[in-house]
Amino acid sequence: MSARVDVDRLQRDLEVIVGPRRVSVRAVDLDTYARDMWPRLLLAYREGRNDGPRPYAIVWPEHVREVISIVKLARQHRIPIVPYGGGSGVCGGAVPLRGGITIDTKRMQAFRSVHSDELVCDVEAGLSGERFERELARRGYTFGHFPSSIYCSTVGGWLATRAAGQLSTKYGKVEDRVAGLSVVTGRGELIETDGPNRALRGPSWNQLLVGSEGTLGLITSARLRVSPAPQLRVFRGFEVDDVAAGVEAIRRILQKGLRPAVVRLYDELDTLINSFGHHEDGPAKEVRGPLPPVTTGALPAWPEPEAPKDDGVVARLLDFARGKGTRQTAMNAALGRSSIVNKVFGTVAEKIARRGCRLIIGLEGARIRTEVEAALIFHELETLGARDKGEDPGWAWLKHRYHVSYRMSPMFRDGAFVDTMEVASSWERLMDLYHSVRTAIGRHAVVMAHFSHAYADGCSIYFTFAGTAPDATSAERLYDTIWRDGMEATTRVGATISHHHGVGLLKAPYMAGEHREAMAIFEAAKASFDPDGIFNPGKMGLRERDREAPP
């Protein structure tokens, strides 16, 4: 990559392409686009450090032809390009390691059409997830993709990271819903993977491009599969004796061909934390939910989530475990003795919960099918020894389903850090994965976990961990150690290092350990799509290229 860039000239060249109002080199914008929501970067920002790499310029294209021109300009001068959607990624995938041009896609936000005969829609990559779902709802459809970041992530970001929503057990992950893509490659060429022969011959180019995190090109639009709006939603809470019993119950349900939309099994500590405040149990109720049949084609709206509150659940538990001290003092002291606290919390959780682990099941779809499937699932769970706690825990989960993402800021404010590690494996390895990663992380941080995104062949585990250190440098070192040990434990078990958050910078060092010889295929694709290595360098474990500018 070019070591010296004339930023003034670059700004003028970009303004020729998109106009002066859609280019910025202002310091405040460069600072904003220097990071995503990777928690490791937040540690430095908390200490007032802002010395990381920044882009040379930010540009907001509105048309594919503008993206093509920007890429050709960047290729001519060997300037890196970093695609940017909502900035909600948590793996450093949008960090401009080598400066360059950050392309923000949010002005490419058209919802073009729905083809009812094929159940597909055409949408541009910069459309936010929440607006996308509302546009579908107005037409009587759903994409079925509800990640915690739905209000601050984009369709293109979902595709770039192989994202998963909270209803993935029914609808699949985002890669399962892709019928076609439009992508501008590092050659400045537009590739369209959708067409009349897409299912008749050859490999699926969609699957090569989905999940490439902007290293092969920039996704500008997509053709996505949609589903009719559900007529009925049913939620239920159960209790199981322990994690192993819950995992076995979920496996048996899914391998019988039953497909709930929501499956969430919490381990003992996560069950205890979720029992504070908003998961109150109620009496068992009728299976039928409160929603009427659809008669007009309009999607019955999901209940709006409540505004997130800083309820301090984790901090209160830490205070409780130690029995003294202010919230911040107690939290830092407890997190500094994480291995002891994990043991104490395990005992406290077992004694207070006295009922093992919480399991939330949710279903949605056509009324009759959903009622029948709910009855079959609930009967199977009770046969396996799960205790029915009625609808209230399930509807409470729905009401608070986005809160966890907003609980992290107070932890950073109080001097700690918190992050999530989502890994996945086949059923036969799942409990080994749970114990291995939990043990590896538990040496350094307080850790809890829940199981979600379950399928017939396996399931993901979502570990949440919190730790503390006396200063930012020590915190960064501890954070890196936690991730190293967790990723190595995952690889040893033979599991995948990422189910839906992506790879970015955070997990790049572990790509070769998981994919081994297959990384050569990814490298070959990179060389073909992006021969000069300008797209998102340093990400996904790919080798960086430093070639002469093309003639």
The confidence score (pLDDT) of residue 416 equals 85
The confidence score (pLDDT) of residue 43 equals 86
The confidence score (pLDDT) of residue 296 equals 30
Does the pTM exceed 0.95? no
Q: Using alpha carbons only, how large is the chain's radius of gyration in Å? A: 24
The confidence score (pLDDT) of residue 307 equals 46
- Helix, strand, or coil here: 458? strand
Domains in the chain (CATH in brackets) are 7-106 (3.30.43.10), 111-194+203-228 (3.30.465.10), 232-291+310-493 (3.40.462.40)
- Integer Cα distance of 276 and 311 in angstroms: 9
Q: In sequence order, which residues have a C-beta less than 8 Å from that of residue 359 and are 6 or more positions away?
A: 237, 238, 239, 240, 246, 249, 250, 263, 264, 265, 266, 381, 386
How does pLDDT run along the chain (551 residues), one tens digit per residue? 445 789 999 999 999 999 999 999 999 999 999 999 999 988 888 777 777 899 999 999 999 999 999 999 999 999 999 999 999 999 999 999 999 999 999 999 999 999 999 999 999 999 999 999 999 999 999 999 999 999 999 999 999 999 999 999 999 999 999 999 999 999 999 999 976 555 566 678 899 999 999 999 999 999 999 999 999 999 999 999 999 999 999 999 999 999 999 999 999 988 887 765 444 443 333 333 333 333 333 334 555 545 444 444 445 444 444 444 445 554 555 555 555 555 545 555 455 445 689 999 999 999 999 999 999 999 999 999 999 999 999 999 988 887 766 666 777 777 788 999 999 999 999 999 999 999 999 999 999 999 999 999 999 999 999 998 888 889 999 999 999 999 999 999 999 999 999 999 999 999 999 999 999 999 999 999 999 999 999 999 998 865 444 43
The confidence score (pLDDT) of residue 282 equals 39
Closest CA to 311 of 447, 450, 419, 406: 406
The confidence score (pLDDT) of residue 353 equals 47
Encode pLDDT of 400-416 as tens digits: 887 766 666 777 777 78
* Token pair belonging to 525: 């694709």
Q: Where are the alpha helices (DSSP H) in 275-360?
A: 313-322, 327-335, 338-353
- Integer Cα distance of 516 and 523 in angstroms: 12
Most distant pair of Cα atoms in the chain: their distance: 73
The tally of CA atoms less than 13 A away on the side-chain side of residue 102 is 30
